[in-house]
Amino acid sequence: MTAAVALQDREVAVDEEGYLVNLSDWNEDVAKTMAADDSIALTDNHWEVINFLREYYAEYQVAPAIRVLTKAIGKKLGPEKGNSKYLYELFPYGPAKQACRYAGLPKPTGCI
Amino acid sequence: MSDTQANEGGDRKVKRFMFVNRKAPYGTIYALEALEVVLIGAAFDQDVSLVFADDGVYQLKKGQQTKGIGQKNFSPTYRALEDYDIEKLYVERESLQARGLSPDDLLVPVRVLGSAELSVLMDEQDVLLSF
Amino acid sequence: MAVLHTTNKSPLQTRDLESCLRLTRPGSGILLMEDAVYGALRSTEASARLAQAAKDRRIYVLGPDLAARGFTPEEVIDEVEVVDYGGFVDLVAEHHHVQAWV
């Protein structure tokens, strides 16, 4: 059973938890639409995390667990961003899970 | 894993977990399954080490290109283990030699140990997981 | 036309390739695929055995399976020919039967 996210010009298939079925379907509109469906307007701060996740996945072929994401963000963007309070404010449904979904990645490995 | 919580309410002792990887990647699912268990298990903050022996050493071979066989190349994920605080990677020297490989052929830094040393390490573990 | 034998297990870990070699006749074709491709590499403990077997048998190795495992055709012993999926199909068509040593 697959669902879909409706973009202006097409639909993209997602699984029962809302993650893209085909990672290659992703573009910025997909992220914006998924966020809008959660009543969130993506800001530069959101994009910083989404882009970070996409780069992480391209490099390591894995969507990082929350603890790994927090630490890695801290290393790259500084301690004021590498903490769970900051990340949970941006992504209230759970930074790794929600941001990975917007970034078009699979559900993070190591999220329990 | 109920035995990791033997002292309920008391201090949970950090246990030593060793994952023993003996299979080549792609031909069977063992290597990928082991890697996923390791990543998920990292959340439990235990003392984790990975051993690569026999054909398991091939999991770490540099330059894997899986487009032609239509499977996901999961070898880059071994380089993310450090981010998951998994830093004890051991490779058996005899297995490398039997395959004409050296540590330079591997995509992550590892400690190369002889079988005698590895067997001592195995004895010291609380939990051994075989893949 | 002879039989094409295929084998998909690493000869460094199992005896399947050895069984295959023992039960193939001179003139047979043998295709190493999946984890059996490790058997075609230079400088492993299995290299000499395969080079010996290649004296009176035609031995092939599947290129995409080699690449997936991080090896190039240059790392394959001279006696073994690298084929792609098209070559695999040709081999199957050229032989009367296929025996898979799974």
Q: For residue A13, give how far its alpha carbon lies from the nearest alpha carbon of chain B (Å).
A: 20
Question: Domain segments of chain C: what residues?
Answer: 3-101
* Chain A CB within 8 Å of residue B1 CB: no
pLDDT over threshold 70, residue C22: yes
Q: Is residue B102 situated within a structural domain?
A: yes
Question: What burial letters (b/e) apply to A84-99, b meaning 16+ CB within 10 Å?
Answer: eebbeebbeebbbbbb
Domains of chain A, with CATH numbers?
3-102 (1.10.10.370)
Would you identify the CATH topology of the domain C3-101? Hypothetical Protein Ychn; Chain: A, (3.40.1260)
Q: Which of A13, A4, A15, A109 is nearest to A53 (CA)?
A: A109
Q: Which domain holds residue B34?
A: 13-63+72-130
> Per the domain annotation, does B88 fall within a domain?
yes
* Averaged pLDDT of chain C: 95
Q: For residue B67, what pLDDT band results from cuts at 50, 70 and 90?
A: very high
Q: A9-20: per-residue pLDDT in tens?
A: 889 999 999 999
Residue B110: inside a domain: yes
Residue B2 lies in a domain: no
Could B84 and A112 be called an inter-chain contact, meaning their C-beta atoms sit closer than 8 Å? Answer: no
CATH number at residue B78: 3.40.1260.10
> Residue A64 region, left (φ>0) first, then alpha (ψ -120 to 50), else beta?
beta
Report the pLDDT value the prediction gives residue C4, as an integer from 0 to 100.
95
CA distance B18 to B44: 14
For chain A, the C-alpha Rg in angstroms (whole number) is 13
Interface test with C, best of B26, B29, B108 (most C CBs within 10 A): B26
pLDDT band, very low/low/confident/very high, at C9 (cuts 50, 70, 90): very high
C/A touch flag: 3 or more CB pairs below 8 Å:
no
A54-71 burial: b if 16+ Cβ within 10 Å, else e: bebbeebbbbbbbbbbbb
Tokens encoding C33: 């695929």
Q: What is the ipTM of this complex?
A: 0.90
**pLDDT at residue number B2:** 43
Active site residue A100: no
Shortest alpha-carbon distance between residue A108 and chain B (Å): 9
Q: Is residue B37 scored above 80 in pLDDT? A: yes
Which has the higher per-residue pLDDT, B11 or B69? B69
pLDDT mean over C27-47: 96
Q: Which residues of B51-70 are buried (b: 16+ CB within 10 A; e: fewer)?
A: bbbbbbbbbbbeebbbeebe
pLDDT (0 to 100) of residue A8: 83
**Confidence band of C25 (pLDDT split at 50, 70, 90):** confident
pLDDT of residue A1: 52
A2 confidence band (pLDDT: 50, 70, 90): low
In this complex, is the C-beta atom of A110 within 8 Å of any C-beta atom belonging to chain B? Answer: yes
Taking CB atoms and an 8 Å limit, are B76 and A60 in contact across chains?
yes
Among A59, A61, A68, the residue with its CB nearest the CB of B84 is A68
On whether residue B7 sits in a domain, the answer given is: no
Q: How many domains does chain B have?
A: 1
Within a domain: residue B41? yes
pLDDT at A95: 86
pLDDT of the residue at A110 = 61
pLDDT in tens, C54-95: 999 999 999 999 999 999 999 999 999 999 999 999 999 999
pLDDT tens figures, A43-65: 999 999 999 999 999 999 999 98
Judged by CB atoms closer than 8 Å, whether chains meet at C35 and B55 is answered as yes
- High-pLDDT (> 70) share of chain A, %: 96
Give the mean pLDDT of A28-51.
96
